Amino acid sequence: MTRQRRKVLQRMSIRWRLALISLGVIALLLGAFGFIISFTAENALFTNEATALHNEGHLAMTVLKQHPLEIGRTPTDPQGTPPLNFKVLATILTQRLTSTSTDATVLSLQGNVIISGSDIPFSPPTLAVNPILVQQTLHTSQDNSTYLIKRDAQNERQLVIFMPIVSNHHTIGILQINTLTAPIDQFITTLRWILILGVLGSLSLAALLMFPLISAALHPLVAMEQTSRAIAAGNLSLRLQTLETDDEIGHMTSSFNDMVAQLETAFRRQKQLTADISHELRTPLTALRGSLEILLIGIERGDGTATRRLVSNMHEETERMQRMIDDLLILTRLDEGKAIIHLTATNIRTVVDKVYDQAQQLTRGQTIHCQISPDMPLVCVDPDRLQQVLLNITDNALKYTPADGHIDYVVRSEEADSVIIEVRDTGIGISAEAVPHVFDRFYRADPARTRHAQHVGGSGLGLAIAKELIEAQGGEILLHSTYSQGTTITIRLQAISAPEQPVEKVTQIIH
C-alpha cells in the first residue's frame, strides 16, 4: 500500500505535491491548535465548576456554625465518631446544597451513603462511586479544583467533588457534591463545531490562495522544463528568461543558462574538432594513398631517389597523424584523471637546452636564440612533461613565424622563489578577440579550411594540454600577443632550494 501511494505521488506534478503537502501541514497545525483550544477550554470550565462547588460546600457549612463541623482540605485528621445529631446536620447540609442541577450526598468514611439529597424532586441522580476511588481522590486533592467526571444511571456525565467533614479535628464523614455537565458539554460541542468549520474554511481559503501562488512560484521551473526539453531535442540556442530575484530559482536560472552556454560552446567546438580532425587526417591519408599508388604502379621505374622521397613523405605523414592521436590521448587522460606527473628537483637549464637543440632541427629558416641567466635555482617539475610543453609551444611558434623571423628562449629567476620561461616569436600574432580563448580546448584562431598554406594549424588541443600540464606541476602559463607583431608565452614555475637528497613526487591529476 505504501509503495502504491509512493507511485501515485511520483506521478503527480510538483505543483500538486507541494499543494498537498502544504495543505496537510496546515491542516495538521490547525487541527492541533483546535484540539489544544478545545481541551484547554473544557478543562478550564470543569476546574471553575469544581471550584464553585467547593465554595458552595464551604458556604453551606456556615449554616451549621453553631455546631462543631467544618470542611477539611484533606483527610489528614484522625478518624472520629460522628455526633449523635450528625444525620440531622447532614440532612440540613444536603438540602442546602441540592438543586435541580446539583446533588449533595454525605458518605461515611467507608464510602456508604448516610444522607442523600436525591430525594428532592428534579435533582440529579446520586452517583455511586467506588470507595477506593473516593479515598484516592481525597488524598490527591491539593486545592479546590480536584474533580472526577463520571456517568450516572442515565448515562449522563456529572462532575463530582469530595470534601472531608471534620469535627473537633477528627474526620467523621465525606461530603460528595455532583452536578450535571450538560451546559459545559453543549458549550464545548458548539466550540468544537466552530473550530472545525474554522479549520475547513481556513483550508479552503488556503487552497484557493495556494494554487495561484505555487503556480506563480513554479512558473520559472515550468519554463525551465519546457526549455530543457527543447534543448534535449537539439536546440542549444535557447535560454531561460533571466530573473531579477535574488533567490534559489533566480540563481538556478542563471546557472542553467551558463550550463547551456557551455554545452553549446563545447558541442560547437567538438563539431569543429571533428571537422578539423577529418581535414587533418584526409591530407596525410591522401598523401599516403598517392605515394602508395605511385609505388604500386611503378612509375618511379626503379628510381631509388624517388622511392626514398616517397617513403620519407609517407613517414612524415604518419608522424603527423601520430602527433594528433597522441594529443587526443593526452587530453583523454587529463579528462579521466589518469595523467601521471613525476615531480623531481630539476635543473631548468638542462630541459631548455634539450628543447633548444630539438628546435634547431625543426626550423624552416627562422633564427632561434636562447638566453639563460646564471645560477638558476632548481624547480620541482616533471622534466619530460615540461619538455613536451616547451616543444609544443615551439612548434606553434615555428608554424606562425615567417622564415626571416626569430624565436627567443628567455629563462630568468624572479623574486628568488620563481623561475620564468618565456618563448617569444615574431610571427603573425593572435587577434585580441582570440587571446582570451587560446587555452580553451578545441579552440582554433584560424578556421581549418581557410588557412594560409604556410600557416598549418593544429587541432586546437596543444595549448589546452600545455595549460593543464603546467598547472599540474604547480606553475602558471600566460600568453601575450599583438596581431602581426608576435606572441610571447610566459611560464612561471616555483623555485626550490637545492635539496640534500633527490626530491621525487608522483602526482595524479584528478578533476
pLDDT tens per residue across span 437-490: 888 866 766 553 334 434 445 556 778 888 988 988 889 999 999 988 999 999
Question: Which cell numbers hold the place of 39?
Answer: 481541551
* Buried/exposed code over 395-405 (b: 16+ C-beta within 10 A; e: otherwise): ebbbbbbeeeb
Nearest residue to 401 (alpha-carbon basis) of 425, 371, 432:
425
Question: Which cell numbers hold the place of 362?
Answer: 625543426
Question: Which cell numbers hold the place of 198?
Answer: 474554522
Other C-beta atoms closer than 10 Å to the C-beta of 364 total 11
pLDDT tens per residue across span 407-422: 999 999 987 789 999 9
| pLDDT values of the chain reduced to their tens digit, one per residue, 511 residues | 466 666 665 667 777 778 888 888 999 999 999 999 999 999 999 999 998 988 888 888 876 666 667 776 655 556 777 777 788 888 888 888 888 888 888 888 887 888 887 665 656 776 777 777 777 777 766 566 678 888 888 888 999 888 888 887 788 888 888 898 999 999 999 999 999 999 999 989 988 888 888 887 777 777 777 888 887 887 877 777 776 677 777 777 788 888 888 888 878 777 766 776 676 677 677 777 777 777 777 655 666 777 777 777 777 778 777 777 777 777 677 666 666 788 899 999 999 999 999 988 888 889 999 999 988 899 999 999 899 899 989 988 998 899 899 999 999 998 778 999 999 999 999 888 888 888 886 676 655 333 443 444 555 677 888 898 898 888 999 999 998 899 999 999 999 876 544 445 544 444 4
Identify the structural domains of the chain with CATH numbers, from first to last: 1-224 (no CATH), 248-333 (1.10.287.130), 339-508 (3.30.565.10)
pTM (two decimals): 0.49
End-to-end CA separation in angstroms for the chain: 44
Percent share of the chain, pLDDT over 70: 81
Q: Which helix (H) or strand (E) holds 70?
A: strand 70-71
Q: How far is CA 329 from CA 45, 183, 260, in A?
A: 85, 90, 27
Question: Which cell numbers hold the place of 267?
Answer: 558541442
